[in-house]
Amino acid sequence: MLSAEDIQRCCWEQRTASFIDFKCGPPTRRRMAQQKILGELVRYFRIPLIVTSIIGNIAVIVVLLRYKVLRRNSSNMLIAQLGFADFVLGAAWTYGYRFYFMVFTALTSLLTIDYMLGELIKLKEVSALTVITIAAYLHQTHVSAQRRENSIVITQTAVMVSYMPDLIFSKLAKKSREAHYAMSPPVILSELIRYLRIPLIVASIFGNLGVIIVLLRYKILRKNSSNMLIAQLGFADFVLGVGLLIRCIEKEMSIAANIQVFNRYNCMLHGATTILGMNLLQATIIMIACDRLSLLVFPIFYRRHIDDMLWSIARFVISIVASLISFGGQFINFSFKNDIVICSSGAAWTDGYRFYFMMFSAFSSILTIVLNAVTVIVYWRQTRISAQRTQNSLVITQTAIIVSYIVFWCTPTIVYMIAVVLGYDPAIFGSITLILSIGSGFFASLNPFLFLWKHTEFRTFFIRFYSVRRVFKSASITAIPSALSHTIPAKL
């Protein structure tokens, strides 16, 4: 029979061997060694968590049940119920992750009823409904004192937010176990992109819809052709957000049904709205760059047409027609019967349209960069007074839009162009167009925040429209005149 010293020495030798395999072993043994070392860390790291979970949650339950003023509130009782669930979780943690997740889900079902429907907690449902709950809460409690006093709502929201990382990593772990390899970078990237699309879609759709409503609601905003260009950009981003939503739903349904082979025509239709939004976005960005340049180069012409609604309508019609023509090109010589293994627009396109879209995207990106560079040079030469620079908020807003466009659109487009020129297999274009759509989603969701940050006139009316408070009386709101029409350099 082995003595305690022999057992300890044997365990030490096994750990040493695991460490050697971890540092310089073959890939298979290295992966096994990583899992062993991770298991050892989890064993010791679990002890303080169990102690904290048991003792801390017992203290929470005792305090909430001790005082009548606390237990009278149903929200406090939900927190006490959560404490009881965490107490059971701490006691049951040694029985395995699956059992603890089952216990946690069962005992916190009443707490999460405000955020989800269903037996199991899904990340998409929790995140979406949490965003809706926070938005409704901020919309209804505008007084800062109320926000500070309503600590229960803040506590529950913090609980839900802290719970989301657990959902993400639990799904990643489950995905890696099903794929029989531990947390490889492709699996992590794929899962992160799946969940990253959700806030982008929500921000793109609702944010840009809010921008359009405000810009069209007030006459002083919509009479300015530059503001109408921003509204047109918001519409393009809104269409792009809807397209990303359609693609996201299709992706989740195919994963749930375990579909491995896709119909080429259906995949192209699923991405059609996204492609239309991209085309409209490209045309609008070029017009914004031209608008900024014409302000500085042709100031008299700009003054005459800045308040002309027909000029704004004409630009919008031209953008729509050009986008529809570019969008319709993907149906030319299209094969409806072929199947593909990656459901994306890039994998479904014909070689001709793929080359056209690459050329169109690259040309529009280069044209936008050139127009922006010329505008910046002219602008800094003609506006040497710092006060004029800081007052011209609309120009700064448009510049921020162009910069974000270069980062989130032009960079993936250049990658796409290189892949087409080098003649990579068509299947790889699915991943490239996925990156392109994610970059477009970033750009589309970022624009509303850029408007609020740098466009003083828009920010004033945005607060006025969406605020329930009547702090901004009609006498106190002074419409800020359009900076573009009042900051033209004197030498022009």
Residue 481 lies in a domain: no
Instruction: Find, among 287, 251, 284, 298, the residue nearest to 270 by Cα.
Output: 251
Same domain for 267 and 384: yes
> Pick from 52, 74, 96: which residue ends a domain?
96
What is the structure's pLDDT at 118?
37
Asked if residue 431 has pLDDT above 70, the reply is: no
The per-residue pLDDT of the chain, averaged, comes to 67
Same domain for 86 and 207: no
What is the structure's pLDDT at 97?
45
Same domain for 347 and 463: yes
What is the structure's pLDDT at 171?
52
102's CB contacts (< 8 A; 6+ apart) are none
Higher pLDDT, 242 or 447: 242
Same domain for 200 and 82: no
Instruction: Find, among 145, 161, 156, the residue nearest to 76 by Cα.
Output: 156
Residue 484 lies in a domain: no
What is the structure's pLDDT at 485?
38
Residue with tokens 């002890």: 47
Same domain for 224 and 77: no
Average pLDDT score over residue span 132-142? 49
What is the structure's pLDDT at 480?
35
Same domain for 228 and 375: yes
Higher pLDDT, 113 or 449: 449
Most confident region among 57-61, 84-88, 124-128, 212-216 by mean pLDDT? 212-216
- Under the banding of pLDDT at 50, 70 and 90, the label for residue 151 is low
What is the structure's pLDDT at 487?
38
Instruction: Find, among 165, 144, 48, 42, the residue nearest to 96 by Cα.
Output: 42
Residue with tokens 């793929």: 354
- Under the banding of pLDDT at 50, 70 and 90, the label for residue 62 is confident
What is the structure's pLDDT at 433?
57
Same domain for 196 and 63: no
Total of domains in the chain: 2
- Under the banding of pLDDT at 50, 70 and 90, the label for residue 268 is confident
- Cα 297 to Cα 308, 400, 403, 472: the distances in Å are 19, 20, 21, 38
What is the structure's pLDDT at 395?
61
Residue 404 lies in a domain: yes
Residue 418 lies in a domain: yes
Distance separating alpha carbons of residues 321 and 197, to the nearest angstrom:
29
Residue 136 lies in a domain: no
Rama region for 480: left / alpha / beta (φ>0; ψ in -120 to 50; rest): beta
pTM over 0.75: no
Asked if residue 325 has pLDDT above 50, the reply is: yes
Asked if residue 420 has pLDDT above 70, the reply is: no
Same domain for 209 and 67: no
Same domain for 196 and 90: no
Spell 449-482 as b/e; 16+ CB within 10 A means b. Answer: ebbbebbebbbbbbebeeeeeeeeeeeeeeebeb
Asked if residue 211 has pLDDT above 80, the reply is: yes
What is the structure's pLDDT at 57?
75
Average pLDDT score over residue span 462-469? 64
Asked if residue 140 has pLDDT above 70, the reply is: no
Residue with tokens 């919309």: 139
Return the CA Rg of the chain. 28
Range of the domain at 53: 29-96
Residue 333 lies in a domain: yes
> Pick from 96, 119, 140: which residue ends a domain?
96
Asked if residue 371 has pLDDT above 60, the reply is: yes
Same domain for 206 and 74: no
Same domain for 86 and 197: no
Asked if residue 365 has pLDDT above 60, the reply is: yes
Average pLDDT score over residue span 319-346? 81
What is the structure's pLDDT at 385?
47
End-to-end CA distance of the chain: give it in Å, rounded: 99
CATH assignment at residue 403: 1.20.1070.10
Same domain for 441 and 316: yes
Residue 284 lies in a domain: yes
Residue 356 lies in a domain: yes
What is the full DSSP assignment across 409-469?
IIHHHHHHHHHHHHT--TTHHHHHHHHHHHHHHHHHHHHHHHHHHH-HHHHHHHHHHH--S
> Pick from 48, 68, 96: which residue ends a domain?
96
